[in-house]
Each structure stands twice: as C-alpha cells, then as structure tokens.
Amino acid sequence: MAKVRHRSGGEFWCPVTIRTPAGGGIRGGHHHSQSPESQFTHTPGLKVVYCSTPFNSKGLLISAIEDNDPVIFFEPKRCYRGPFYGDPHNVPTWKEHPEAEVPESYYKIPLGEARLAMEGHKCTVIAWGTMVHVAEQAIRNSGISCDLLDLQTLVPWDRDAVVKSIEKTGRCVVVHEAPKTSGFGAEMVASIQERCFYHLESPIERVTGWDTPFPHTTEWDYMPSPSRIAEAIQKTQEE
C-alpha cells in the first residue's frame, strides 16, 4: 500500500486508514503492550498518526480517512479509559477533561500539525499518545515552565512547531513509551540537532521505555513515569 501512488507515478492512490491499538498500562503483557510506531515511520509512503484525546482522535481520524495515502492510526489503549497521569492507583475518566468534548459536527485536525498542550519558556517537552498526559503531570510536578508539544502526527511530523519552541526555550526533552534504541525519538533528536544546534543550551534528553520486552508484573517500572520525566526536565536546567 505504501508504494502504490509512487509506483504508478500518481495514477493510482491508496486512501486506506488502518486503526490499531498500541501501548501499555493495561496489563497486556509482552505482546499486547508494545509501541511499534518506529517500525511504520521507517516505511516511506506511509503516514503515521498517534492520537491522545477524544477530541483529536476524531479530528485526526477524519483527516486520515480523507487522505489519499495510506495512514497507520495508533490509538493508545491506556487512553480508552481516560487520561493517564502516571499513577496506576488513580484512574481518572474523560468526564471532566477539556479534550473530552467531541462535537457531533464535522471537523478535521490537519495531519502534520503538533498541538501545544501546555505553554512555557524554560524547556520544550515533546510526547505523543499516553505520554502526553504523563508528561503534563511531570511538568506540573517539576514546577518548571515548559512547552508541551503533543506531536499527534509522526509522519509527517511538525518540524516547524518543534523548532519554534526550542528556539524559545533552548532545551528539549523527548518522551515516548517505546524502547529507546531506534525509537522515533532518536530520529527527532537527530533532526533537532541539525536545525537547532546553536539554540540548544543543554543536551537533549530522552525518556523512554527500556530496551527489553514489555514486562507484565512490573509494567509501571517499564513505562516512563512523571518522576523520570521531571528528572530529565530538571537535568536540562542544570547544564
């Protein structure tokens, strides 16, 4: 599917959207808790979306369905139940969350545009899926003023929004649930270094899952936590 438009010289299109649940936090064990987004971002011709809230789920899904290229649409399983802020003993629902209001009317969120979930000036935190909410809690716990960018689309990702934010803050933390090695965060860090080298005031930090199969009994030790993210944010301020 990814190559149809290119192989046909634009004569044929492949407007297919594949919805797939992903991520942990639901006691899914080794196989049902993985975050395989980087396997798909490495396939030219595919677009990759990773939603985080009911509101952006609808808007992004409509844009994906109407797109002429194939789209992999990741839905974080942990967020089916509500926003997850990193505390497995506190399970909020979407009832009172501002992003839970989903209009019945038609609306789209363009692919390739990040969402500014929090605004600050001392660090840029980039996340997607469940990690957007965990990062939000981490920022509040740290007490450090941060931009929080919900990437929403991984291919194509919003380089302009990321660069604009880092030019303002001078510091960056990338958070994702997938393992660190060859994770999509590595691609982002490389691109940020290329475009923002002279604006960075400290090394870019990554907070990710560990390079091991997703564990069942210790999944909360595997997933990035507010404390790990807050520690990374604090580290960027000390350089």
Q: Known catalytic residues? A: 32
**Dihedral, CA atoms, 5, 7, 8, 12, nearest 10 degrees?**
-30
DSSP state of 224: -
Q: List CB contacts of 75: < 8 A, sequence separation 6 or more.
A: 19, 20, 21, 22, 51, 57
Distance CA 176, CA 232 (A): 13
Distance CA 150, CA 132 (A): 6
Q: List CB contacts of 220: < 8 A, sequence separation 6 or more.
A: 88
DSSP state of 100: G
For residue 214, report the phi and psi dihedrals to the nearest 5 degrees: -60, 120
